[in-house]
Structure 1
Amino acid sequence: MRGRVAIGLAVCGILLAGCGTGDDAAPSSQDSAEASAGEPGPYFGQCGSVADEEVRGAFAVTAFTMITRNSVGCEWEVAGFSGPSVSFSWYRGSPIDRERSGSELIGRPAEDIEIDGNPGFSAATEGYMCEVGVRFGKDFVHWSVSYGDLRPSADPCGVAEQLASLTVERAQ
């Protein structure tokens, strides 16, 4: 039994040694520059500084059955298995291109947008769902609007861009 354990440990050691690059040099200046590119963005406040009434008005829904607020963001939902929802997220120190690529990977082609001089993207699915991301240095904010199984009462991208514009205007 001890022999098998010793052999197993030796094999693991050899395999782990093969995982290294063999290069103990410091990260390249390009890696360091990419990691430190851009400054942190402004403060956006809870829910992107957008009030529940403003979300209801833009979304053209009279009432939400659930509103979630936490350290990551906010979500407004209407009852139903695949009911409508609106969400806001604030990403600190996270690359917006990762979010954009994720949208494209799941079939929502992204388009470049700009809100008040800040670059971003908009990505939609069949007029029922749209997301908008806006970059601020190392940070970005993200609004997502989904009408679920319901017929949209407003253009999802229009709603997402309107809410993103309010957030950008109110950034501190």
Structure 2
Amino acid sequence: MIGALVLAGGNARRLGGISKGDVAIGGVTMLQSVTDACQQAGVDKDNIIVVGHAETDLKKTVEDPPRSGPAAGIGAGLPHITGEQMFILSCDIPFIARGLPELIANFGGDGVCFGGERAQYLAGLYDSRAIRDQVARLESDGGLIGLPVRAIMKPLNIKILEQNDSARDLDTWHEIASATQKGLD
């Protein structure tokens, strides 16, 4: 069984601080595109947890304190996920539906994620136990607040695939406008 943890609590400074997950492309919010993709890849709706402030009907939590970073977001979502594997995804990758089957097909070791200029850890599929163990280590070493995702992922045996357009994150209004013109095909 696969679970999914979707981070939707960032500050979105380049978007003026609005919730990225609530931004719509082609009439569908980016968050809904990501969570729909998880369901299409076989994740049960009840095994998807959204961490952050974006609007959703799915299970939701917030890191404590709110907006304390992506590692803290992962830590907040972990108690709500079951299964041997979990997708960890950001809410601003609305094209990820095309990439999830590739992640499943290439899974091994502690996980797999897409790459490019750097590893895209928030576009990956991971061994749940490896993530839980690493989060527990970091929590016992001072906590997760303010830590980047790579603090969790870097020590693990993660296969990094080539860059994949389906994992392209949309961080600026220009990128969102361009994606809106092209649609979510």
Larger RCO, structure (CA 8 Å, separation 6 or more): 2
TM over 0.5: no
TM-score (structure 1 length as normaliser) = 0.26
TM-score (structure 2 length as normaliser) = 0.25
